[in-house]
Amino acid sequence: MRSKQALTLSDVKKIAAAAEAEAVANKWAVTIAIVDDGGNLLWLQRLDGAAPVSASIAPSKARTSALGQRETKVYEDVINNGRYSFLSAPNIDGLLEGGVPIMVGSDCVGAVGVSGVKSTEDAQIAKAGIAALGL
């Protein structure tokens, strides 16, 4: 047996606060979702002005990132490069940039998904949140 790291509520609050600060500093109305390593929702925050659909997209991006243990941009690139059959992969649906895994060494402990602005900006917000953990 090996021990594994896990996100605490304190960690989640740090990530959320830093992600929100990044979004607010840039005047971006987004939804921020944080999940554990199994893709289970730990936090959902929709900033004022964020489109209602972003509350569905952000958790999907986070879940896909956690389960795949990689940024969702990887999947978007695979599809954009012509591998359309990947759209049939089971149980993943957040195949747009903006989902970023939270890695502790080589272990994925969760992910952050953001939706509401350009995908590159969503990813920027997610990464700013994760950076607050100082990993």
Q: Is the pLDDT of residue 126 over 90?
A: yes
The total number of structural domains in the chain stands at 1
For the chain, give the mean pLDDT: 96
Is 78 domain-assigned?
A: yes
Is 3 domain-assigned?
A: no
pLDDT tens across 87-124, in order?
Answer: 888 888 889 999 999 999 999 999 999 999 999 999 99
- Beta-bridge mates of residue 36: 110
Distances, alpha carbon 52 to alpha carbons 29, 30, 55, 83, 104, in Å: 11, 10, 6, 30, 32
Q: Give percent of the chain above pLDDT 90.
A: 89
> When comparing pLDDT for 64 and 135, which is higher?
64
**Distance (Å, rounded) from C-alpha 27 to C-alpha 15?**
18
Is 4 domain-assigned?
A: no
Domain with residue 95: its CATH number is 3.30.450.150
Range of the domain at 25: 9-131
Is 1 domain-assigned?
A: no
Is 86 domain-assigned?
A: yes
